[in-house]
Every structure is written in structure tokens, then in C-alpha cells.
Amino acid sequence: MLEESAKIDGRDVSREQLLKYVEDFARLYEIERMQRKALEAANEKLQQEIGERKRLQDELIQSEARYRSLFEDSSDAIYVSSRDGILVDANDSFLALLGYERDEIIETSVLKIWADPAARSVFQEQVEATGSLHDFEARFRRKDGAVVDCIVSATVRKGRDGSILGYHGIVRDVSEEKRRREILELARRMQALAHMAGGIAHEIRNPLAISSSAAQLLVNDNIPRHLRKECAEKIVTGISRASLIIENLLTFARPLSEYATKEIDLVGVISNTLEVVTATAVGQHIELAFQPGLEHVMLPANAELLHRVFLNLFLNAFAAMPNGGKLLVIVDANTSEATVTVTDSGHGISEEQLSSIFDPFFSGFTASRGIGLGLSVACYLVVQHGGTIHVDSTVADGTTFRVKLPLGSSSP
Amino acid sequence: MTKILIADDDPEIRDLLKKTLTRRGCEIISAADGQEAVAMARDQKPELIIMDIIMPGAINGIEATRILKADAQIDCPKIMILTGKGGAQGLDEAASAGADAFFSKPFSPLELLRKIDEILA
């Protein structure tokens, strides 16, 4: 039973007041208990968050360590540079590639390692254009002065605002590959030279054989008069053929710049060349058809050399028609180039041989007999004039050569 | 009369060889490429073929020699390679194809005749 009154802290309090104290106390206690529970929940959540953050931080550290290890241990040379050309970081492979100690090169200008500093501007322009760059060929200078051929694959580094901070990339030393390629190229050239030397020897030995044998026959006093004359003619023929081969060979050694060029009429050159071969064509039962689409086609060229181009093409076509046929020559032009199409109805050229017919001394094709090197000379001279020459052929159906020559500043 | 086939794409060479050998009393037939040479050898059975290496067409002189030497249907004639393709390579190719002799251009007609006598002896 509760007393009617009681003393609390020396003060008299009534029963009602006491009851109110008890109620207040119970209410405050409940509030405190709720707050404590809320605090405990918040604390637990905080602890969880702290744990999560720690886990993420550990993962980040591990990830960084992994990437650092990838960077450091990579056998590829990796670097990071700033846009203004400071080497920010590089791995050991990069340092080894260029022969520097870390403190000699990090935080210094990258320009000292570019063999051609201007090449860095080209690199920057290209990498910034697309954001990344693959297999950029670069030459770097090692600390000892030696130059190494490398390829660089790089990516642009950007700040949060999108501005370019610099680049990071991988550098691969391709000196050895390049050296191997050069050796292969040299071997290929030596092979071509051997092929050419063999070809020259073969071509010149034939006329030499003719002259030499005829001369040795002449030495014999007992040969009849008509044979003596024939032998003398064969000696002259052999010498002329050998001279022509040498003349054609020299064509390759003499650039167009050594010949006088001027505005000439292509239609006129072809017309003259056709006149030269008309007698041969008649003798071989070959019909000549000329279709100049225009009266004149003016272009900058050397008339004598173009005459040789078409003479070689026409004689080549004749050789493909030993039993007669038809040679059609068409000249056409647009605003930039002239096209001459030379079509014969001869035996054609097999697909296998087509790719080699412009090679000097191509051994499977001797249609140029008597002219020597005919098609390769024609091709060379057309290219010297800035033109192109293409061939289409079907075995047993005939061959078409298409020569395109630039008109220069003239118009048709 | 000894029948000799001259296989060379150069008409001047064919003509000179013909003149040289006819004066010696040989009967001369000639072919301008490897294919023609093989056909004529099978058809006309010469005793000797004087064969150039580099000739136009599908088969050159070396291949023609190999075909004829491997042909069991014919009594293969002697084959002399006469070529401007001198040096060890030409000689090796000729030997591996089974040629009986190798002669380089330019040639001395007298030495050629001596060589022919030697082969046909």
C-alpha cells in the first residue's frame, strides 16, 4: 500500500505526486531504452559499413598490387608520360630497353629518348585523334646512343573533366625482327639479281652464239660464197641483237628526268608506231585496226620513249599471233588521263604467267624475242611517265594491254 | 644419215646449227618449244636432240628431257643440252634430268661437232 504522503529529497510529496514521478520515470526509462536500442542498431550498421569499407580497401590494395606487379614484372616495356613530355613512370623492362637507371630518366623529358623528337608530335597527333594507337613505329635512343626500332601501342590518359593528362603505353623492341626482315629482303634482292644476271647471260649468249658460230664458220675457207655472205649477215644480226638488249637494259638505268619531255600528241605517236610495224603485220597476215577516239590527245611525255612502249606492245602482240590475227588499238581520254587499249587475237597468256610477264627476262615468255625485255621496258617507261599498265588475257582468246597515262595540265 | 632434232626457240640458232650440221651430212629436224620437241622425238625418232633449256610454252628443255628419258615406249635418243643458261645450275639441272651432255652458248661449231661425234660414238 502506498502511503498518503512521503518525503523525497527532504520534501513532502503527496501520493498523487509520487504516482506522477513513478509514471514519468517509467516513460523516461522507456524513451531511454528505445534510444539505446536505436543507437545499438546504428552502431551495428556502422560496424558493418566499416567492415565493408575495409574489405573494399583491402581489395583495392590487392588490385593495385596486382596491377603494380603486372606493370613492374611485365617483360614488355610500359611507361606513363604527361602530355607535356615528362616521363611520369616506367617499368624495369622500359628502363632495361633504354639502358637507364630509374632516377636518370623518371621525371625527365621523354624527348631525349626519341631518336627523332619530331616523331613524338606525330605520335601525339595520332594517339589524341582516336584515343588510342596501335603499333606506331618509333625509333628510340638508348642511353649509350644506340637507336632501337620499336613499336608503341598507347592510350590517352584523361582527367575527370575530360582533359588529356598524358599517355600510357607499351613499347616493344622490334630491332631483331626488323633485322631479320632486312636480311630476308636482301636475300630476295640477291635472288632477283641472280635471276636477272642469269637472264642477261642467257639473252646475250644467244646473239653471241650466233655471231661467234657464224664467224667460226667463216674462218673455214671451203664454205661456198652464198654461205659466207649469210654468215657475215648473221654476225651483224647477232651483234645488233646484243646491242639492243644492252640498250634496253640501259633504259632501266636512265630515269625519265634525263630525257626531254614536252607536250606531245599521243595519237600521233601511236599512228607513227603503227606505220613502222605495218610491213611486219602484212608479212604475218595480221590486220591492224586503229580507233583514235579523239583527233589529238596532248600530254607531257618523251615521244621517243612512248614510241618504244607501243612498239614493244605491238611486237609482243605480233609474236602471240604467229599464224595471223587482228591487232586493235583504241585511244581514249577523259579530263585527267589517256587510255590506250592494245588487243590482240593471239594465243593468250596463262593465268600463272600473267603475274610475271613484266618481270625482266621472264623465262616462260619469249614473245619479246628480238626486242629483248620488251614488256618490262614498256612497263618501266609507262611507270616513269606516271602511268599504269594492266593486262587481261584469256588463253586461246587473246590479250589486252591497257596503258593509262596522265594528261598533266593539258586537256584532251 | 644421222638424224638430229634441234629444239631451240631462237630461229637464228636453229638456222646456224642446221647449216653447221647439214654440212656434216646430218639430217636436221627442228622444234621451237619443249612440247613440240617431245612430240617430234616420239614421232620421228632422231638419234640426237640438241635441246635449249629456256623455251616458251608449258615445258622447257629440262622438262622435255626428263619426259623423254622417262618414256619407256621409246628408245630415248641422246640428248645434249645447249644453253645460254650457263654455270653450275644449268649443268646440275641437265644432269638431274638425265641429259647425256651439256654445252654452253656461245659455242664453237668445231667443238660442237667433236662433242656430237663423242656422244654418238
- For residue A42, give every residue at least 6 positions away whose Cβ sits within 8 Å of its Cβ, in sequence order, or none: none
- Mean pLDDT within A47-74: 90
Contact A209 B86 (CB under 8 A): no
Class of domain A256-406: alpha beta
What whole-number distance in Å separates Cα of residue A127 and Cα of residue A136? 9
pTM (predicted TM-score): 0.54
Name the percent of chain A lying above pLDDT 90.
Answer: 55
Are residues A50 and A61 in contact, defined by beta-carbon separation less than 8 angstroms? Answer: no
From the number of C-beta atoms within 10 Å of its C-beta (0-12, 13-18, 19+), residue A233 rates as: exposed
> What chain B residue is nearest to A226 in terms of C-alpha separation?
B19
For residue A232, the one-letter residue type is: A
Are residues A114 and A120 in contact, defined by beta-carbon separation less than 8 angstroms? Answer: yes
Question: Nearest CA to CA, how far is A268 from chain B (Å)?
Answer: 34
Residue A265, pLDDT score: 95
Cα angle for residues B53, B59, B62 (degrees, 5° grid): 35
Radius of gyration of chain A (CA): 45
Q: DSSP characters for B52-120?
A: -S--SSS--HHHHHHHHHH-TTS-PPEEEEEES--HHHHHHHHHHHT-SEEEESS--HHHHHHHHHHHH
Class of domain A74-173: alpha beta
- Report the SS3 class of residue A237: helix
Are residues B52 and B86 in contact, defined by beta-carbon separation less than 8 angstroms? Answer: no
Could you state, in order of their start, the residue ranges of all structural domains in chain A?
5-69, 74-173, 179-253, 256-406
Contact B12 A206 (CB under 8 A): yes
- Report the SS3 class of residue A159: coil
| Structural domains of chain B, ranges and CATH numbers in brackets | 3-120 (3.40.50.2300)
- Banded pLDDT at A253 (limits 50, 70, 90): confident
Optimal mutation site among A195, A208, A213, A395, interface B, most CBs of chain B within 10 A: A213
pLDDT of A370 > 50? The answer is no
Q: Using CB atoms, which residue from A208, A213, A237 is nearest to B109? A: A213
Contact B56 A208 (CB under 8 A): no
Mean pLDDT of all residues belonging to chain A: 88
Residues of A in contact with B60 (CB under 8 A): 363-364
Contact B10 A206 (CB under 8 A): yes
User: ipTM more than 0.95?
Assistant: no
- Would you give the distance in Å from CA B10 to the centre of its chain? 13
What whole-number distance in Å separates Cα of residue A241 and Cα of residue A237? 6
Are residues B120 and B48 in contact, defined by beta-carbon separation less than 8 angstroms? Answer: yes
Please state whether the peptide bond connecting residue B106 to the residue before it is cis, i.e. omega within 30 degrees of 0.
yes
Cα angle for residues A247, B55, A239 (degrees, 5° grid): 30
Optimal mutation site among A202, A204, A220, interface B, most CBs of chain B within 10 A: A202
Contact B9 A363 (CB under 8 A): no
What whole-number distance in Å separates Cα of residue A23 and Cα of residue A3? 17
Q: What is the pLDDT of residues A268-318, one digit of tens each?
A: 999 999 998 998 899 889 999 999 989 999 999 999 899 989 998 998 899
Are residues B59 and B75 in contact, defined by beta-carbon separation less than 8 angstroms? Answer: no
Query: Regarding predicted confidence, which is higher, B18 or A197?
Result: B18
Are residues A343 and A355 in contact, defined by beta-carbon separation less than 8 angstroms? Answer: no
Cα angle for residues A41, A43, A47 (degrees, 5° grid): 120
Looking at 1.10.10.10, 3.20.20.70, 1.10.287.130, 3.10.20.70, the CATH number of the domain A179-253 comes to 1.10.287.130
Query: Regarding predicted confidence, which is higher, A197 or B60?
Result: B60
- Mean pLDDT within A231-253: 84
The residue among B52, B10, B22 whose CA lies nearest residue B34 is B52
Residue A3, pLDDT score: 63
313-372 in A: which are within 8 Å (CB) of B?
363-367, 369
Are residues B56 and A366 in contact, defined by beta-carbon separation less than 8 angstroms? Answer: yes
- Would you give the distance in Å from CA A377 to the centre of its chain? 27
Residues of B in contact with A209 (CB under 8 A): 13, 16, 84, 105-107
Q: Using CB atoms, which residue from B84, B87, B108 is nearest to A206? A: B84
